[in-house]
Amino acid sequence: MAILEIRDVVYRYESKYQTTEALRGVRCAFEEGKFYALIGKSGSGKSTLLSLMAGLMLPTEGEILYRGTSTSQMDLDRYRRENVAVVYQSFRLFPLLTVEENVTYPMELRGVPGKEARETAQRLIRRVDLPDTVLRRFPGMLSGGEQQRVAVARAISMDSKLLLADEPTGNLDTENSDRVVELLLSLAHSDGYCVIVVTHDLEIAGRADCVYKMRDGKLSGMQEKG
């Protein structure tokens, strides 16, 4: 069963002067244990689709089903808190919280006791190949690759099987990009996550289990490995 299913989703940006249709009847499905890549030109609707999948907004038409339940019938805050994790191109870490606090934040939101959350954070930091010493540091003191790996650690701390990544390597050099992609692949294949990556990088797309191409707000094609 698909963890996430997109059914005929249409999304329009409406303003006083114009209406832009960003998505026009997108239909697709995502399963756990797979690494998906969502590629397309700028303005093709990738980020909009990611935002809808992340529960940051609701589709104008159609629906997005998470494990068979439409997001429009769910509390979006709770959905974001418990069911979906997002990694952004610009890392989006709390600059005034330490790495440990950044990672424990989602857990504490869910009510995980502090001590347990800190132990988990330590484990996750190791999981993303970072030393324990970074736990006490602030994000501003880390390199871009390290920050992105902290962001991934925070994402997987959410105990959700759906992980979305918006250009996760956009701000990283090749070496760091590879490490992050490896991490995401490992999460999909070893830990059973459904990882959906929005990217321009065809190399990443080439390593994905399934690639969705987007054009003018529609899925223009799908390419599945093997």
Residue 132 in the binding site for another protein (CB under 8 A): no
Which of residues 197 and 211 has its CB atom nearest to another protein in the complex?
197
Least separation in angstroms between residue 162's CB and another protein is 13
66 binds another protein (CB under 8 A): no
The correct pick among 79, 148, 153, 184 for binding another protein (CB under 8 A) is 79
Q: Which is nearer to another protein, 95 or 221 (CB)?
A: 95
Q: Verify binding: residue 121, another protein, rule CB under 8 A.
A: no
12 binds another protein (CB under 8 A): no
Residue 111 sits in the site that holds another protein (CB under 8 A): yes
Interface residue with another protein among 4, 23, 53, 54 (CB under 8 A) is 54
Beta bridge partners of 87: 165
Q: What is d(CA 10, CA 22) in angstroms, rounded to the nearest whole number?
A: 8
Antiparallel, parallel or unpaired: β 162-166 and 194-198: parallel
Q: Which is nearer to another protein, 5 or 101 (CB)?
A: 101
Sheet holding 218-224, edge to edge: 84-87, 162-166, 194-198, 35-40, 210-215, 218-224
The bridge status of strand 84-87 relative to strand 35-40 is unpaired
Contact between 96 and another protein (CB under 8 A)? yes
* Binds another protein by CB under 8 A, chosen from 26, 36, 46, 55: 55
Binds another protein by CB under 8 A, chosen from 108, 191, 201, 216: 108
Using the rule CB under 8 A, give the single segment among 37-45, 62-70, 96-104, 119-127 that binds another protein. Answer: 96-104
Minimum CB distance to another protein, residue 47 (Å): 10
Both structure tokens of 106:
């989602």
- The least CB distance from residue 140 to another protein, in Å, is 9
Q: What are phi and psi of 183, to 5 degrees?
A: -60, -45
- The DSSP annotation for 35-99 comes to EEEEEE-TTSSHHHHHHHHTTSS--SEEEEEETTEEGGGS-HHHHHHHTEEEE-TT----TTS-H
Going from the C-alpha of 207 to that of each of 9, 31, 95, the distances in angstroms are 27, 17, 32
Binding status of residue 100 toward another protein by CB under 8 A: no
Residues 161-220 that bind another protein (CB under 8 A): none
Under the binding rule (CB under 8 A), the answer on residue 105 touching another protein is yes
Q: Considering only CA atoms, which of 110, 36, 14, 41 is closest in space to residue 53?
A: 36
What φ, ψ does residue 158 adopt, rounded to 5°? -80, -5
Contact residues toward another protein (CB under 8 A) are: 54-56, 76-82, 86, 88, 92-97, 101, 105-106, 108-109, 111, 138, 158
